[in-house]
Amino acid sequence: MTGEEYKEFDERFNREQEEKSQKRLAELDAGFPLQERILRLEQARTEEKLAKEKAELEAFEAEEPFVDTSQFKPLATGELTETLGLTIKRDELNKLVTFLAQLSAYTESCQLNVSFNAPSSSGKSFIPLEISYLFPEKDVIKLGGASPTAFFHDQGVYDKETNTIRVDLARKIIIFLDQPNGLLLEKLRSFLSHDEKEIHIKITDKNKGGGNRTKNVILIGFPVVIFCTAGLNLDEQEATRFLLLSPEVNQEKLREAIQEKIKKEADSLSYKNWLESDPDRRLLKDRILAIRQAGVASIKISNPELVTKLFFEKIKTPKPRHQRDIGRILSLIKVFALVNLWFREKNGTTLLANEEDIAEAFKIWDILAESQELNLPPYVLNLYKEVILPAFLEKNNGAVEGLIGLTKQNIVQKHFEVYGRFIPDWMLRQQIIPLLETAGLITQETDPDDKRRTLIYPTNQLNISQKVNYIEKDGGIEAGKSIDQLTEDEQSELGKSIFGEETKWAEE
């Protein structure tokens, strides 16, 4: 028998033996009940998946280089946003907060959850995705959507003996590119609140017979959860568990984003080489990897009294949601310390956040606080300030006896003047107006001249009468005066009462 003949014989023999083995296994399986066969199949698939993931992890960790930390220097917020700005134009606050949120995955329990809410094509998913490319690929999970059952099965490992799915999400960054299934969010509420390190959840699953069976899920660790949705409505229970963000939609940002898109797509290979060769970006990726390798177990705050003082300076009346807000501020403080961990006091695996970290966190919170307090996406709050309030002031410029409310058409027209595009009527009626009314920023009244329509009025407490009242006799400004009749100081006072103390009303 020649070598080739022997090889052919050997292959045929092995193939026949494999076929006999498979046939025998099938006969043995047929002796088990259907339910048992399904469980055996799931167990085999789970073991195969686990073995594959373990091999991939071992290979990755074997290749993961040790980072030389002597190359790092203290990283200022401005330098960080400048590096992130290589690919993300404008959106300074959004890209900084999103980066800090994703970095918080490497803390023990200070993970920040982020919700990007804005109309379609505004760049909601672009920011978290671009920043995620800075992080190790194995730490990032990107999902277009998932049902509760699919999510837990896909991310977890099934234990047949205990009928339990163990889902370890510690140090993970989960990005939902669209709003997750509502039932999944409900299942994750306690997990997102960091109530316990291990949380037990029961889910139901369909078997092949069409019946239901219950499975126990154990969620382990705390991930960073980011989801992006064009829907502006959020259940209050979810809204208070997330930092609400919206991408900028101003003309300058859009122009720069379009130019960057052209630059990227015109020669994608050259663009990628340019980006990856940028020294600051490479240093930032090394910094993230070094933070991951540092294994910081806990972060303490050096001056909690300062945190208390600064927080209560910002609020007049404490509300239940402030308990979660202060938790987010504390997380921001700790993540700022993590960014510069080599330049902070350290005791073993415990890091100490200093007053510089406290100051940086409160700078961010001062900008975020208003929309978070109102449970409004910044897009909706900005629309209120840039469209509804100016339209209301313009319509009442010559008012003598009383204020005239806005129609929806007035808002649509003003929106086009400000943003250069029309707002969909359904979005205005079904999402924006109800959100603003729930937040107490507007009221709706029936038009006395046409009972078929309603008029929209900014509320007194947040509008003109907050500090000055130009329609009441004893108000700060004489009753009956129009805006054109006000002095420069009165106009300035009026503008600040509406748009905030920092607004240069007389100039704008």
Q: What is the pLDDT of residues 378-432, one digit of tens each?
A: 999 999 999 999 999 888 875 545 688 899 999 999 999 998 888 989 999 999 9
SS3 67: coil
Q: What is the pLDDT of residues 312-333, one digit of tens each?
A: 988 878 888 888 899 999 999 9
What's the whole-number mean pLDDT along residues 55-66?
63
- More confident site: 209 or 165: 165
CATH of the domain spanning 378-499, picked from 3.30.230.10, 3.40.50.720, 2.60.40.10, 1.10.10.10: 1.10.10.10
pLDDT at 442: 93
- Give per-residue burial for 438-476: e unless 16+ CB within 10 Å, then b: ebebbeeeeeeeeeeebbbbbbeebbbbeebbbbeeeee
Q: How far apart are CA 25 and CA 427, in angstroms?
A: 58
What's the whole-number mean pLDDT along residues 29-44?
63
Reported for 16-25, long-range contacts at CB under 8 A and 24+ positions apart, including other chains, are none
pLDDT at 463: 41
pLDDT at 404: 86
Q: Which residues, at least 6 apart from 336, have a Cβ–Cβ distance to it below 8 Å?
A: 100, 353, 356, 357, 360, 361
Domain spans of the chain, in order of start: 69-295, 378-499
Q: How far apart are CA 122 and CA 119, in angstroms?
A: 6
H helical segments located in 236-321: 236-239, 251-266, 268-277, 279-294, 304-314
What's the whole-number mean pLDDT along residues 464-471?
35
Q: Is the dihedral of CA 280, 284, 285, 290 positive or negative?
A: positive
pLDDT at 200: 84
CATH 3.40.50.300 for domain 69-295, yes or no, is yes
Cβ(336)–Cβ(357) under 8 Å?
A: yes
Cβ(467)–Cβ(497) under 8 Å?
A: yes
- Retrieve residue 353's tokens: 């956040």
Q: What is the DSSP letter of 406?
A: B
Give the length of the chain.
508
Poorest-confidence range of 194-203, 240-249, 261-270, 462-471?
Answer: 462-471
Give the chain's mean pLDDT: 81
Helices 251-266, 268-277: axis angle to 10 degrees equals 110
Q: How far apart are CA 286 and CA 66, in angstroms?
A: 9
